[in-house]
Amino acid sequence: MPARPSVVIICPKEFKFTDQEASVERPHLADVADLTTVMLDFGAPLPAAALDAHAHILWHGPLMDAAVIAQLKNCRVIIRNGVGFDTVDTAAAARASIPVCNVPDYGTEEVADHAIALILALYRQLFPLDAEAKRLGWKIEVAPKMRRLRTQTLGLVGLGRIGIATALRAKAFGFRVVFFDPYAPAGTRKAVGLEQVGSLDELLKLSDTISIHCPLSAETRGMFGAREIGLMRPGAFLVNTARGDIVQKAAAFAALHSGHLGGAGLDVVENEPLRTPEEAATPNLICTCHGAFCSPEGMIEMRTTSARIARAALTGQPVWNRVN
Active site members? 243, 272, 290
* Ordered alpha helix ranges (H), 142-294: 161-172, 188-192, 200-206, 226-231, 249-258, 277-280
State the Cα–Cα distance between residues 292 and 309, nearest whole angstrom. 24
- Cβ atoms of residues 203 and 197 within 8 Å: yes
- Asked whether the CA dihedral 104, 17, 244, 164 is positive or negative, the reply is positive
* Ordered alpha helix ranges (H), the chain: 26-29, 48-51, 66-69, 90-95, 108-123, 126-134, 161-172, 188-192, 200-206, 226-231, 249-258, 277-280, 296-314
| Residue 41 identity | D
- Asked whether the CA dihedral 201, 233, 255, 121 is positive or negative, the reply is negative
Angle at 126 between CA 134 and CA 192, to 5 degrees: 170
Write phi, then psi, for 36 (nearest 5 degrees).
Answer: -135, 135
